Homo-oligomer: A and B are copies of this chain.
Amino acid sequence: MAESLEFIIEALLFTSEKPLNAHEINSWLSGETLADIRQALGNLKTQYDSMGRSFALKEVAQGYQFRTRPEYAPYILKMFKTSPTRLSRAAMETLAIIAYKQPILRQEIERLRGVDVGGILKTLMEKGLIRIVGRKSLPGRPLIYGTTTRFLEVFDVKDIDSLPRMKEIKDMVSDEEQTAPKTEEHQLDAFEQTSET
């Protein structure tokens, strides 16, 4: 092809509404190798970082996406004539629990929050931030919750394991599971995947 790989990828990133990853790009550019595409993505990111323009290429939700820098938010919000929608404090706290402890049952979320979270789960689900990842093989077959790709996009996270302090929380969780009383224990390994992929 006549056009440089970097510019082709740049054009795709510039028109896509979603973050793109090397595999997706590869599926549209049959003649190229995954390694070359990864290389080009890295080069583009470096270029935009050093150009210091009003937008840059960010690694988010297991892909790359052009995003404006935060200092331009006030002007953009003015153009869109909107103020950003915020999650309530309760919703943010519930979301944090799900993000850090997924896959997680509702009853476990409620144990941590000390209150019923039905209404909040519904809100988070409607906003596309959480999803049902399966059912636990327990009496009542309770639903298991986790975060979505949209969550990664909204919160500027590369992938769930790169959330700050994820390792710390995971280590603490495994400590608790060893000491916690039987009734509070939830072995989440034996859940069934739903069709959501």
Q: Which residues of A contact B (CB under 8 A)?
A: 2-3, 7-8, 10-12, 14-16, 18, 27-29, 53-55, 66, 68-69, 71-72, 75-76, 78-80, 82-83, 86, 88-91, 106, 115-116, 118-122, 142-143, 156, 174-177, 179-181, 184-185, 188-189, 191-193, 195-196
Question: Does A68 lie within 8 Å of B11, measured CB to CB?
Answer: yes
Given contacts A3-B71, A7-B53, A71-B3, contact A185 B14 (CB under 8 A): no
Q: Please measure, in the bound complex, the distance between the C-alpha atom of A66 and the C-alpha atom of B10, giving whole angstroms.
A: 13
On whether A90 and B192 interact (CB within 8 A), knowing A116-B180, A118-B185, A185-B116, the answer reads: yes
Distance in Å from the Cβ of A193 to the closest Cβ of chain B? 8
Q: Are the C-beta atoms of A10 and B55 separated by less than 8 Å?
A: yes
Number of copies: 2
User: Is A90 touching B195 in the complex (CB atoms < 8 A)?
Assistant: yes
**Who on chain B is nearest to A2 by CB?**
B71
Set B66, B90, B120, B174: member contacting A122, Cβ < 8 A: B174
Beta-carbon nearest neighbor of A126 in chain B: B89
**Smallest beta-carbon distance A17→chain B, Å:** 9
In the complex, A175→B91 CA distance in Å? 19
Of A119, A122, A143, A195, which is in contact with the most chain B CB atoms at under 10 Å from its CB? Answer: A119
Could you tell me if A89 and B195 are in contact, using CB atoms closer than 8 angstroms?
yes
A122–B192 Cα distance when bound, in Å, is: 13
Judging by beta carbons under 8 Å apart, are A196 and B88 in contact? yes
Indicate if the CB atoms of A196 and B86 lie closer than 8 Å. Answer: yes
